[in-house]
Structures are given as structure tokens and as C-alpha cells.
Structure 1
Amino acid sequence: MEDLTGQRLGSCVIIRHLRSGGMGDIYLANQPDLGRQVAVKVIRPDLGATFVDNSTATFLQEARAVAALEHPHILPIYDFGEVGGRPYLVMQYVPTGSLADLLAARTTPGFTLPMVPVLAATIISQAAAALQYAHDREVMHLDVKPHNMLMRLLGAPSDPKGAPQPHLLLADFGLARSVSLTSPGTPASGTPLYAAPEQFAEAAVPASDQYALAGVAFQLLTGSPLFSGSIAELLHQHQAVPPPPATALNPQLPDAVNAVFVRALAKNPNQRYSRVEDFAQQLGIALRTAATAPSAAAMAVPPPTPPRLPTHMPDQTVAPQPWSAPASATLADNAATVGMYPAMSAGNT
């Protein structure tokens, strides 16, 4: 990796390297004229990223389209260009990092797997709002995943043990369409762990984003990804294997969520919800039944047997034991199976 520290890219002076991703390197930079810090993504062909038309023209065209998107849950693109053969994007810097970073660190209240339904529903709803806004303007994301969900945490909760309020910023909109990864067997766009079946056949549609977002929601609520295995195994599972019921992995979820996932994760994109916002809305409605309607799987689990108490003690009730996530239910562990996630660090993805 070439060290760009101290070099200028357009209006930016590179401060330090933050991380490397599938398409390139992310740097913390300063815009001296504006007096602000920004994140700069530099595309690197040596990491396996290539331009679909062997030029940067399509990339710059996509960047221009994404820069025109103005939505509270879309990461702003401040500038873009090419210097010395290096195409780059200048974006808002989010020091908290991504949803993937928070889940891997396990230090922020609420950001553990499986996630409490109200927090998961908030995150999915914000992402769906951003996607729907883009879809209405004929822009697809094509790589929805926790790494591309940057998170601001707004203030401390009233309950010291509660989670701070999240404000999601969806990053890397549409760039997967102009920059592809050359690894054999990977989808033409997207990440194999979350990519919709049609993306492997280079036939992405807006509903492909819904499938990927549903895969993220499934992982947040159950603690496990939809599927696991090699890239070839993931391809087969996405195209031919029904996802497991969410309640089989987390019996505390209501049965209603299973039907929502069955539709949003349909192999045929025409059988999914007509709008990604519809999926998020139905998921929220299903999750709100959790407090009053536990799943059949949860009801089938017998309560723990109260211990035998000495006769001289008053009668007592033993509280039910909380459901605990399986040891393998971390995002980083599951993602490592397919080698998609590099070491995580704070800051933009």
C-alpha cells in the first residue's frame, strides 16, 4: 500500500490511513480552506477493484449521481475526482465507525448480537428510508451490509444500561455498479454474505437492496447470518436454500417475523415487497408484537425447574432464565468464514 500521508488530493491533505476495504483505502484528511476533517476513499486496482468499462468515467458518473442525493440517512459526498490516475471520493467523516465496528467491539450498550428488537427496528427503518429515497431517484445501492452503515450515537440514554439513540448514514451508494471485484464466483456487485440471488447473475434490481437489508435485519435479530460457508456455498444457498426461521435461532422473537423474512428474502425479486420501506414497516409491526405474543418456539421451551427450598423458608418464584446467543453468533466470526471482513477500526468504512 502506498503511503499518501501528507499528500494532497484535490482540496484535501491526507492526515493518516484509517482502513482498507474491498474497493480501496480510507484516509482521514483535512480540508484547510474549509477547516474541517473528512474521509477520503481512494480506489485501488491492486486490491482487486476494477472499473467495469476499464476507465474511471462510469465511476465518476456514479459519484456525481450519488453526490446529488440529499437525505438524513445517506452519507454526504462532498467532492470527487481523479488525481494521478487515482479516483477518489471525499465524504463526511464519522469517527464512531460502522455498525460492523460497534458490533465487533461489543462495548456500546445495545450493540450486541442478538440485538434488542426496538434498536434493530430503528436501524433497519433508517436504512430503508435512505434506500427508498434513492430508489425513487433510480439509484440502487447494491452493497448493503453492516460495514456500509455508519453510525452516529446521539446522546446518552436515560437508562444507564440502555442503548444510545442511533443515527444511521448509509455509505457507498451505487459504487458497486461501476467498480467490481475480480474474485471468481463473486456477485457482479455486492458482498456474497448478503447479495441477492439475482446479483450473482448480474441482474440486480431495486429489490436486491431489500434482500440484502433483510439479511442484515435477520443477523441483527438472530445473532447469525442467513447462510455461511465458502463463496460457492453462499451462491448455492442464496439461490436455492430457504432461510431458516428467525424464531428457530432466537425463540424470543414473535412468529410474525418469520413471514416478513420469507417475503423479503424470496429468491424471485418479484415476490418481495414492492418497496423496501414496506418491508421495514412490516418488520416493525411484527416486532411490536414481541411483548405480547412470544413465538411458538419460545412457548415450547419449558421453564426452568425451581430449586427445592428448605421447609423453613417462604415460598419463592424463580425468574425465567434469559435466552443467550450462541458462541458463534458474532458478526466478525460469521463473516470470517467467507473472508469478507478485514480488521476493523474506528471511522468511515
Structure 2
Amino acid sequence: MLLDCDMSQRLTEKHCFELQHGNYKLYHVVKSGGSSTIYQGEHIHLQHPVAVKVLNSWLASEEVTHKFWAEARLHASMRHPHIVRVLDCGVKGKLPFFVMDYAPHGTLQDYYVTGSKLPLSTLLPLVMQIASALQYLHERNLVHRDVKPSNLLIGPENQIWLSDFGITVAMQPWHPQHMQDSIGTALYAAPEQISGKPVTASDQYALAVLVYTWLCGQPPFSGSLVQLCQQHLYNEPPSLSKHLPQLAPAVEQVVLRALSKDPYQRFAHVLDFANALKQACTQPLAREEPVGPGL
């Protein structure tokens, strides 16, 4: 729902004024989640477009507020061309917020039409940028745990920005925790992440699910939360060549390796996966089977 004064169901001037957070004026909701809401806005003096993430009021307990600030501090510590920047932070009333660069072209979820297939020439630059951002995290001993199209923003020059570090964790000994918090988004969750033991290779698995989906026009697995978890844990993904008969065998081998159930059978680093995919794209296409009798 838009929150500016030009919407058909108009708000009062008082309501518009109340949507000012510190030096930032909020215009409309970009994304609404269970714990926070992201607005498009601008700096009231500089008139610079920004995205403002605000903790939802009904969740503003001491524990949740602490987690929100932890996310803000972690995110603000990152400096990478393919991670969206944190510019500022503040408190309005009792609600904390932080300010990020605004992505005018939305997310890869907006860009990708469900069921369509992306050519490798389009897919590869996306993968290289995402892998570069994830490699940066992994070198800092961090696991993102929620790599998916809606968390991949498209910047003003069509560059990709990784976002949403709300469930990012440092590699540490495993402790029991809420199942959904551990899984992230089940459609992209690696087997070990579903089991509550995410590692850096879990992000590589999620990126490989994205690659599979973009190439084939559908994800390797589908169904309910329980069905998805079972398939990620126990089922091998269907062959990519079933959907793309002309796909180079080397490309399929690279993607399926990154989708290995055992994280130690995947590539050593997520950037290795991206580079291997790039190299595989130079290999010959699969040959068509002869229609008539051979000689």
C-alpha cells in the first residue's frame, strides 16, 4: 500500500508528517516482512533517494530490537560493490531504523518471470556479481543463509546488490534453534542448513538453485515446506539436459556439483563455482541424437 499524499485514498497532512524518520521522508512501502518494513524515501535536505528499513512496532521488544541493531551494525561494516550500502541509522520514537542505498530497478524477483529461461550470456554476469559478494562474506567467516531473488537488488547502473542480513550468522559450533530461522527460505536451502548446521557452502548451494532455475525455467524441487526439505535432503535434482537438451554437458556438471548433498563435495569456494560455470560456458554444446539409422 502506498503511503504518500497522492494515493487515491489520501492520507492527512499529519499522517504524511509522521512518516518522517529523522532526516528522511518516507514515501511508500517497498517490502514488508514479519519483523521490519522497508520504505522508499529521500533525505529531506539532500533530496537523495534512499531505502529505509524500520522495525515493525508490534515486534519492538528488547530482544528483537537488539537483533535489529546487530543486523544494522553487521551490514554497516561491509564494504563491497555488490552489497547494498548502509548510509545512516536512527530512532523514531522507540523504533530503530537504518538507511540504505535505494535500488531503483527493484530486485531479481521482479526481473525474472516465473517459468522463463535465461540465456547463459544474461545469467553469467549475475552469477559472477552474486558470487563476488558471497565470497566477501565467506572470507569474513559469515554465512548469508537467505540467498534468493528478492534479496538481490538491481542498482541504478543495473549492478547487483546483495541485501538482507537479518539471519546472517558467523560460523560457530551448532546450537539448537528455531527450525525456520535456521532454514531461511526452503526453496533454496541446502541440506545441512535444513539440518540446522549451515556452512559457507550452503550459500553456494542456494546460488546453484538460482542458476538451475534461471536455466531450466523451474527450480530443481517444489512443494510444501516439508516436501521441499525432504527433497533437498534426499532427492537428486533432475537433469538439466531434460529441460535444455542442447546444454553443454560441462555446464550441467558444474551446476550439479554445486548442488551436491555433501557440502564438502561442492566447490571449495563460491567464486570457484562461478568461475567454473564461466569456463564451462566455453565448452561445446551437447550433440543431438541422430534421428535415422547410423552408418
Coarse TM-score class (shorter-chain normalised): 0.7 to 0.9
Number of corresponding residues: 272
Residue 127 of structure 1: CA displacement?
0.4
Letter in 1 for 2:254: V
- SS of residue paired to 1:120: helix
Residue 254 of structure 1: CA displacement?
0.7
Aligned pair partner of 1:300 in 286, 289, 295: 289
Letter in 2 for 1:116: P
Q: Counterparts of 1:212 and 1:219 in 2: how far apart (Å)?
A: 11
Range with bigger deviation, 88-97 or 212-221: 88-97
Q: Counterparts of 2:75 and 2:282 in 1: how far apart (Å)?
A: 34
Please give the TM-score of this superposition, normalised by the length of structure 2: 0.82
Aligned pair partner of 1:71 in 53, 71, 80: 80
Q: Counterparts of 1:115 and 1:12 in 2: how far apart (Å)?
A: 38
In structure 2, what is the equivalent of residue 217 of structure 1? 211
Q: Counterparts of 2:60 and 2:225 in 1: how far apart (Å)?
A: 19
Seq. identity, %: 37
Q: Is the 8 A contact 2:36 2:56 kept in 1?
A: yes
Q: Counterparts of 2:66 and 2:31 in 1: how far apart (Å)?
A: 25
In the TM superposition, 1:1-349 aligns within 5 A as 5-6=16-17, 7-21=19-33, 23-44=35-56, 54-104=63-113, 113-152=116-155, 154=157, 166-172=158-164, 174-177=165-168, 186=180, 188-289=182-283, 293-296=284-287, 299-300=288-289, 302=291
Q: Is the 8 A contact 1:187 1:200 kept in 2?
A: no
Q: Is the 8 A contact 1:28 1:39 kept in 2?
A: yes
Q: Which runs of 5+ in 1 are unaligned?
A: 107-111, 155-165, 179-183, 304-349
- SS of residue paired to 1:130: helix
Letter in 2 for 1:209: D
Q: Counterparts of 1:283 and 1:45 in 2: how far apart (Å)?
A: 44
List structure 1 runs of 4+ shifted beyond 4 angstroms: 1-5
Q: Is the 8 A contact 2:179 2:196 kept in 1?
A: no
Residue 264 of structure 1: CA displacement?
0.8
Q: Counterparts of 1:99 and 1:79 in 2: how far apart (Å)?
A: 25
Q: Counterparts of 2:145 and 2:257 in 1: how far apart (Å)?
A: 19
Letter in 1 for 2:234: A
Deviations 1:7-28 (A, max 9, x none): 2223322122233245432211
Residue 50 of structure 1: CA displacement?
9.3
Residue 186 of structure 1: CA displacement?
3.3
Please give the TM-score of this superposition, normalised by the length of structure 1: 0.70
Q: Is the 8 A contact 2:2 2:27 kept in 1?
A: no
For the structure 1 residues 222 and 86, does the alpha-carbon distance in structure 2 shift closer, same or farther, using more than 3 Å as the test?
same
Residue 86 of structure 1: CA displacement?
2.9
Letter in 2 for 1:38: V
